[in-house]
Amino acid sequence: MNIATMREAEATAFKPRIWRLAHGRTLTLGPRGLLMAIINVTPDSFSDGGRFGNVEDAVEAARSALALGAAIVDIGGESTRPGGEAIDARTEQARVLPVIEAIAAESAAIISVDTYRAETARLAVDSGAHVINDVWGLQKDGGIARVAAETGAGICIMHTGREREKLRDVIDDQTWFLRRSLEVASNAGIDDTAIVLDPGFGFAKDPDENLHLMARFTELHDIGYPLLVGASRKRFLGAVTGREIAADRDIATAATTALLRMRGAAIFRVHDVAANRDALSVADALLAASSLED
**Residue 111 DSSP label:** E
Is the distance from CB of 194 to CB of 20 less than 8 angstroms? yes
Count Cβ atoms below 10 Å from residue 13 Cβ, excluding itself. Answer: 23
Give the pLDDT band of residue 52 (cuts 50, 70, 90): low
Predicted TM-score (pTM) of the model is: 0.93
pLDDT, residue 84, reads 65
pLDDT over threshold 70, residue 94: yes
Confidence of residue 10 (pLDDT cuts 50, 70, 90): low
CB atoms within 10 A of CB 152: 17
pLDDT in tens, 215-226: 999 999 999 999
- Binning the chain into helix, strand and coil, the percentages to the nearest 5 are 50, 15, 35
Enumerate the domain spans of the chain. Answer: 3-293
Active site amino acids: 234, 269
User: Which amino acid belongs to residue 278?
Assistant: D
Residue 9 contacts residue 218 (beta carbons within 8 Å): yes
Q: Which long-range contacts (CB under 8 A, 24 or more apart) does 275-283 make?
A: 275/250, 275/251, 276/35, 276/232, 277/35, 277/68, 277/69, 278/254, 279/254, 279/255, 280/32, 280/33, 280/35, 282/258, 283/33, 283/257, 283/258
pLDDT at 290: 87
Ranking 14-23, 42-51, 86-95, 257-266 by mean pLDDT, the lowest is: 42-51
pLDDT at position 183 over 50: yes
CA distance readout (Å), 253 to 105, 107, 257:
32, 28, 6
Mean pLDDT across the chain, nearest whole number? 93
Instruction: State the pairing for strand pair 131-134/154-158.
Output: parallel
CATH top class, domain 3-293: alpha beta
Q: Does the pLDDT of residue 294 top 70, yes or no?
A: no
